[in-house]
Amino acid sequence: MAGERSKRVTIYSIAQECGVSASTVSRAFTRPDIVNDDVRERIHAVAKRLGYQPNKAARGLATGRAGMVGLLVPDITNPFFPPLVRAIQQAASVQDWSVLLLDADEVADEETELVEQVRAQVDGLIVASPRSPDADLEDTLGDLPAVVVNRVVAGRPSVVCDNSAALTAAGQHLHQLGHRRFALLRGPEASWAARQRAEAIRGWALAAGVELVELGDFAASYEGGREAAPALLGSDATAAFAFDDLMACGVLAGLAEAGRSVPDDHSLVGCDDVLLAQTVTPSLTTVTAPVGELGTTAIELLHAAMRGEDARQVRLDGTLTLRASTGAVPAGVVSR
């Protein structure tokens, strides 16, 4: 199966074995159409038998293309990203690209540093939810083909999940359940998504004429949620929008610790719909992101960018998923 374990199989070994020149072997793989059918098949057969694998370094050197794309995430341990990584990886492999994963560990400077390090090594870059300011990003990216996920940067192709409609729907849902006083537990200022979500909720609250108190910023993490819980209790809101599911889980724990029940005392809405959202108790009402599409679109856009096409900005809609963390307000509380 693995073929002769001689030395190392190159196009030259194959050429010799087949009695043709190396160029022909090369072409048999890269432009099969221009080599004679018989010859091509003979070459492919021998290559398979010998277990030939083209040397990517050599090819990269000759063509200037590395066959590799970078994927920069702010924090791989944040459960939002693994599914995205997988989706992108699968979409990339269709294009015959390998994916170099880069984790910035949630620190903005690390992002630009990492980009600087890999820019010479990849053909393109996908930057997911970057924390760096636009200017820094633009600076380091330079002329490297890149697409941004979950953030809009002027002049760059991007694909974002638009949660506005779903958050509005969530608001309406809560309103119907009788809630009139809401809290917005804000995410990190550096996060584009946080600003976008906050904007959507503010817009809805204004239109619906309900009371909205903003709390935070809190970290986009379980810990951040734990910190947010007392703040929420200090307000008189009966329903809250957390920046994301992770934070919502922290809030859940914080409220439970304080002896409050969800959804009986408070209703809570998360965002992203990570696995956690359906496994916590109570399960979270949240906005489900179309992760698969996000990935395929990112690769598509990157492909376009590498061909020099104009930057396109795609927005995909999140959808509201109702679960157990939202319920009606106890009668006494509604009419104060």
Q: Is 26 in the site for DNA (CB under 7 A)?
A: yes
- What is the spatial distance between Cα 284 and Cα 277, in angstroms, rounded to a whole number? 5
Q: How far is the CB of 110 from DNA (least distance, A)?
A: 24
E-assigned strand segments in the chain: 68-73, 98-103, 124-128, 146-149, 158-162, 181-185, 211-215, 239-242, 267-269, 286-288, 313-317, 319-321
Between 218 and 222, name the residue whose CB sits nearer to its own copies: 222
Number of residues that bind DNA (CB under 7 A): 30
Amino acid at 319: T
- CA 310 to chain CA centroid, Å, is 22
Q: Which does 142 bind (CB under 5 to 8 A by kind): its own copies, DNA, none?
A: its own copies
Q: How far is the CB of 51 from DNA (least distance, A)?
A: 12
Q: Is 57 in the site for its own copies (CB under 8 A)?
A: yes
Q: Is 122 in the site for DNA (CB under 7 A)?
A: no
Choosing from 42, 44, 119, 173, the residue that interacts with its own copies (CB under 8 A) is: 119
Q: Is 27 in the site for DNA (CB under 7 A)?
A: yes
Q: Is 305 in the site for DNA (CB under 7 A)?
A: no
- What is the spatial distance between Cα 199 and Cα 215, in angstroms, rounded to a whole number? 14
Please report, as residue ranges, which positions from 32 to 51 form the binding site for DNA (by CB under 7 A): 34-40
- What is the spatial distance between Cα 269 and Cα 112, in angstroms, rounded to a whole number? 33
Q: Is 257 in the site for its own copies (CB under 8 A)?
A: no
Q: Is 66 in the site for DNA (CB under 7 A)?
A: no
CB-count burial class (<10 Å; 0-12, 13-18, 19+) for 281: exposed
Residues 6+ apart with CB under 8 A from 39: 18, 20, 24, 28
Partners of 214 in the β-ladder: 184
Q: Is 55 in the site for its own copies (CB under 8 A)?
A: yes
Between 10 and 319, name the residue whose CB sits nearer to DNA: 10
Between 23 and 121, name the residue whose CB sits nearer to its own copies: 121
Per-position DSSP letters for 224-235, written without gaps between them: HHHHHHHHHHHS
Choosing from 3, 4, 48, 58, the residue that interacts with DNA (CB under 7 A) is: 58
| Residue 75, number of CB atoms within 10 A of its CB | 18
Q: Is 98 in the site for its own copies (CB under 8 A)?
A: yes
150 token code pair: 């979950």
- What is the spatial distance between Cα 270 and Cα 221, in angstroms, rounded to a whole number? 12
Between 85 and 200, name the residue whose CB sits nearer to its own copies: 85
**What value, to the nearest 5°, has the Cα angle with vertex 187 and ends 183 and 189?**
120
Choosing from 6, 64, 176, 335, the residue that interacts with DNA (CB under 7 A) is: 64
Q: Is 30 in the site for DNA (CB under 7 A)?
A: yes
- What is the spatial distance between Cα 178 and Cα 261, in angstroms, rounded to a whole number? 17
Please report, as residue ranges, which positions from 181 to 200 form the binding site for its own copies (by CB under 8 A): none
Judged by the rule CB under 8 A, the positions of this chain that interact with its own copies are 1-2, 5, 53-58, 60-61, 66, 76-77, 79, 81-83, 85-86, 89, 98-101, 103, 105, 116-121, 139-140, 142-143, 222, 249-250, 252-253, 256, 275-276, 278-281
Judged by the rule CB under 7 A, the positions of this chain that interact with DNA are 8, 10-12, 19-24, 26-27, 29-30, 34-40, 52, 54-55, 58-59, 61-64
